[in-house]
Amino acid sequence: MGIGDFIIVGGCLLILILFLILLLWYGTVIKYCNYCVSKESNKIQWECKETFQSQVLYEKGEITYHICDLYYYTIPSELSKFVRIFGKNEGIAAFEGMKFYNEQEFKDFVSKFETVGDIKKYLKKEERIIWIHP
């Protein structure tokens, strides 16, 4: 066996070890951080993203309300710095096509939901029709 064979074997072992480390990292640290982000006791903040069509119609004066998709996030101060860095705290769509006439109406609606658990319980209770088409 020459020196080239040792380099190839060593490189393959290095790649295998790095793959196992990444797998272990994802399986433990990333999953734990995402669990921490989605704990039901976490307080949430809301974001109302107005649809493009609603924005255009509102600017033209054709409608007097805003149609928004509502997203919630875990408030960053609820999370440790480690979890903020490695966790996935992206907006989760909770409601689509909500109609609000002003910001106060939006605040009144979302004030009912203070934690991740509140919104999850509400969405479970809400009866939804699901249409499926091949």
pLDDT, tens only, 4-62: 777 888 889 999 999 999 999 888 999 999 999 999 999 999 999 999 998 999 898 89
- pLDDT higher than threshold 80 for residue 128: no
Residue 117 domain flag: yes
Residue 120 domain flag: yes
Residue 31 domain flag: yes
- pLDDT higher than threshold 70 for residue 127: no
Residue 133 domain flag: no
Q: Assign 118 a pLDDT band (cuts: 50, 70, 90).
A: very high
Residue 65 domain flag: yes
3-state secondary structure of 124: helix
Domain count, the chain: 1
Residue 105 domain flag: yes
- Pairwise CA distance, residues 74 & 93, whole Å: 13
**Gap between the terminal Cα atoms of the chain:** 60
Residue 81 domain flag: yes
Residue 11 domain flag: yes
- pLDDT higher than threshold 90 for residue 123: no
67 lies in which domain range?
3-125
- Pairwise CA distance, residues 18 & 26, whole Å: 12
- Pairwise CA distance, residues 87 & 33, whole Å: 5
- pLDDT higher than threshold 90 for residue 126: no
Q: How many CB atoms lie within 10 A of CB 124?
A: 7
